[in-house]
């Protein structure tokens, strides 16, 4: 086995690069402006931070689908993957609104708008039916 060794060189007074520790020794002072700016040593680059390899939490994916009609009827179904856990469950509009508020404001605002539209349609339907009922009562009274 052969090992190559390098001879240790003695330091010389002449250097190819300026002395970064003592900048005034690198070049003779020619003007006062030349020595007024300090020479900064290059900053070492930091190694990128590595994330700790922790335990990965197991995720469970459930799909809740809530559907409503203009008449105010709401139904829900719950799936896990391709398996239905619950199907065609009747739910109250107020319960849908409360659940959406609990989950997130971005969910509750559009759902409440849909519920309010259904409410106003139902109120108009009730008013029309009441008017029809009054007309029928008047017609019945005229027959007596």
Say yes or no to pLDDT of 1 above 50: no
What's the pLDDT at 142?
92
State pTM to two decimals: 0.51
Q: What stretch of H or E contains 77?
A: strand 74-80
| Rounded to 5°, angle at Cα 63 from 58 and 64 | 135
| Strand 83-91 to 74-80 pairing | antiparallel
What values do phi and psi take at 100, rounded to 5?
A: -65, -40
What's the pLDDT at 137?
95
Tokens 């970064």, residue?
20
Q: What is the pLDDT of residues 7-28, one digit of tens each?
A: 555 555 555 555 555 555 555 5
Displacement of CA 129 from its chain's centroid (Å): 47
**Residue-level length of the chain:** 144
pLDDT, mean of residues 26-33: 52
Say yes or no to pLDDT of 5 above 80: no
Q: What is the pLDDT of residues 33-91, one digit of tens each?
A: 555 556 666 666 776 666 666 778 888 899 999 998 877 889 999 999 999 999 999 99
What's the pLDDT at 139?
94
Q: What is the pLDDT of residues 95-142, one digit of tens each?
A: 999 999 999 999 999 989 989 988 998 899 999 999 999 999 999 999
């Amino acid at each position: 086995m052969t090992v190559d060794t390098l001879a240790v060189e003695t330091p010389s007074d002449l250097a190819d690069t300026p002395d970064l520790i003592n900048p005034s020794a690198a070049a003779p002072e020619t003007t006062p402006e030349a020595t007024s700016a300090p020479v900064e040593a290059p900053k070492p680059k930091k190694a990128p931070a590595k994330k700790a390899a922790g335990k990965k939490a197991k995720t469970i994916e459930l799909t809740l689908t809530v559907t409503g009609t203009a008449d105010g009827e709401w139904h829900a179904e719950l799936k896990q993957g391709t398996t239905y856990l619950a199907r065609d469950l009747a739910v109250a509009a107020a319960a849908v609104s409360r659940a959406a508020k609990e989950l997130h404001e971005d969910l509750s605002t559009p759902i409440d708008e849909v519920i309010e539209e259904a409410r106003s349609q139902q109120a108009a339907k009730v008013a029309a039916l009441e008017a029809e009922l009054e007309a029928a009562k008047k017609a019945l009274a005229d027959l007596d």
